[in-house]
Structures are given as C-alpha cells and as structure tokens.
Amino acid sequence: MIIYPDLELRKGRLVNLARNRIDSPIIYDLDPIMAARNLAAQGAEWLHVVDLDAVFNDGENTAIIKDIISKTSCPVQVGGAIRSMEKVHSWMEAGAGRVVIATAAVKYPHLVKAAATAYPDSVVVSIDARGGHVAIEGWTEATTFTPIEFAHQFENIGLAAIILTDIDRDEDHPESSIAHTTELAAKIRVPVIASGVVKTLDDISTLSYLPNIAGVITSRALFGGAFSFSEAHAIATAAHGPTAQLQ
C-alpha cells in the first residue's frame, strides 16, 4: 500500500482545511517545494498535490506545483479544478504523473472517459462522500447517488485509481468508520485510495490489510505530527512487503 503525502496549497502556502473551510485553513510552516523534496528523499512513491485556490476559484498555484514536479524525484498526482481536456493536457505536458478529476467527474463524466483514453492509467477520479452519498463543489452540494453507484461507470476505462474521501470520518462524526471505504474497495475493480480516514498509525495498519486499498492520502495527521512519513511508510509496506508503484 502506498502512502500519498497530501500537499494542499493555498496562496503559495502548505495548508489543510478543517471541515473544508477555506476561510480558516490550518497553515504549516513548511516550504511546499522543500517539503516535497524531503518526502521524496524519505522514500515517498507518490505525492498528492492539490491547488485549493483553483478549487475555490480564488487564484492558482500552478507555478509552485510545476516546481514541485520538476524538482522532486517522485511522481506527482495533481488535483484542483481540472475540468477540461485542456487542463488535463496542460498538467500531463508539465510532467504530472497523474491528474485527479473530482467535481467535473460528476458533472462531465465524458471528460473522465476522454482523459483516460488519452492518458491510460494516469487519470484518477476523486469521490467525496457524506452520509453515504457523493458530494461536490468542495463538499457544499449533495447528490442522490452513492459512491458505489457513481464509481461503477468508470470501471472499464483504464483509470489509475479512485480516491474516496469519507467526509464524515474526516470531520470526526461519532458514527463514522472506515466501512464506506472498505465497501467501495470490495465492490469495484479499480484500485481505491482512501482519504479522510487516517488519524493514527493503527488506521494505516488496518487499511494495509484490506483488499483493493492501494493507498492512503494523509495531510493533517502527517504534517500535524501524529506520525512521520517514515513511520507510516514502514507500516504500509510491512504487511505485504514493498508495494509495486502504481503507474
């Protein structure tokens, strides 16, 4: 299983959004490019980089992300308002290892299929879920379908992975668990990357033994000091030996 350190960028700074609130981000006193290089030096197989300003239509961090891509020795998975083939082409030409399509996958599923055709095994669909249903537009709008219903349409088009962010778990709802992530992974053939569910090293250990969980994305626990990347990576790879890097 692969640990994906999550570098979320807001106005050029490395941040994390508690309850996805753009107005009051957790700010980490780390240079994004140096953080990326340090993680790669520690053995990171992938970096997950998100342009939050692009997501919230409040600018962009393109130059910094391109620097991370060019100055880091591991592949970068880029997300943040990728809503057109032009954006897909632009990031792939800039050297991104993968592009992540989120809200646009709900609104324009044909975009996902076109992107996966153009770049096989280099496109990831990101699903955010609250209360068992897919949420879009930065978690602000609910849909009527479940993650499993939504994911099935993308099973045979050559996706690299599907990210499932469990909003309830991320927001520490009392009834939340990793059950939604486990269920999705069991019912689709596309590798699943878990997001929003990792609070401790024990969570990583549990996920590493579950079928079809190919990776976990971590930001708040990692950069907040709950564990180090080296500790997380060691546990993720110990269960079944070193994982083959997803291409």
The pTM for the full model equals: 0.93
Contact 162, 190 (CB under 8 A): yes
Tens of pLDDT along the chain (247 residues) come to 999 999 999 999 999 987 666 778 999 999 999 999 999 999 999 999 999 999 989 999 999 999 999 999 999 999 999 999 999 999 999 999 999 999 999 999 999 999 999 999 999 999 999 888 998 877 778 899 999 999 999 999 999 999 999 988 877 776 667 888 999 999 999 999 999 999 999 999 999 999 999 999 999 999 999 999 999 999 999 965 544 444 4
What single letter denotes the amino acid at residue 201? L
Ranges of each domain in the chain: 2-238
Structure tokens at 85: 């083939």
Whether CATH 3.40.50.10800 fits 2-238: no
Grouping H, G, I as helix, E, B as strand and the rest as coil, residue 239 is: coil
Which residues participate in catalysis according to the annotation? 8, 128
